Amino acid sequence: MTAVIKLSHDYASPPEKVWALATDFDALAEVCKPLVHFSGLPNGRCKEGMKASVQVRLFGVMPPQPYTMEVLEQDDTAMRLRSSELGAGVTSWKHTLQVAPNGTGARLTDHVEIDAGWLTPVFAWWGRKLYKHRHKPRLRLLGEV
């Protein structure tokens, strides 16, 4: 069973600034708090071909779970990132992040395909919550609030 979620958020900042933030591992850790805490994230920005094995802790209190992320595509010109992820109960989490101009700034779109067996609907709910949550911390990091 696979679920698909798609969310878009608009920012007043230039697309290049949103893209740089969206592909930075330190920013990823920050925008996921307090829902997800990471340990073992690489430093710097995502790079095509990189694989990261990390630990994730929901709400910072649940036991750490192994999680693997592989960057399949990272295109600075097209401002598109594709990753394949798994772990913590998820069989497959395929994420495409796209940043594009929207006339007044940038639109960031997350498209995620999730397979977690019979728990797929639960993980799809969680994914929507997580990607929606990332918007406000990004606004803060971009200096828009």
pLDDT single digits (tens) 98-120: 999 999 999 999 999 999 999 99
20-27 mean pLDDT: 97
How much is the pTM? 0.93
Tokens representing residue 55 in the block: 């630990």
- CATH number of 79's domain: 3.30.530.20
Backbone angles phi, psi at 133, to 5 degrees: -60, -35
**Contact (Cβ atoms closer than 8 angstroms) between residue 111 and residue 128:** no
Domain of residue 48: give its range: 3-141
Report how many domains make up the chain.
1
Which of residues 58 and 29 earns the better pLDDT score? 29
136-145 mean pLDDT: 95
Q: For the segment 41-92, what is each residue's pLDDT rounded down to a tens digit?
A: 999 999 999 999 999 998 878 889 999 999 999 999 999 999 999 998 899 9
Phi-psi region at 103: left, alpha or beta (left = phi > 0; alpha = psi -120 to 50): left
- Give the model's confidence band at 22: pLDDT under 50 very low, under 70 low, under 90 confident, else very high: very high
**Contact (Cβ atoms closer than 8 angstroms) between residue 13 and residue 144:** yes
C-alpha 25/C-alpha 56 separation (Å) is: 14
> Residue 70: its pLDDT value, please?
97
C-alpha 69/C-alpha 95 separation (Å) is: 10
Q: Is the pLDDT of residue 1 over 90?
A: no
7-20 mean pLDDT: 98
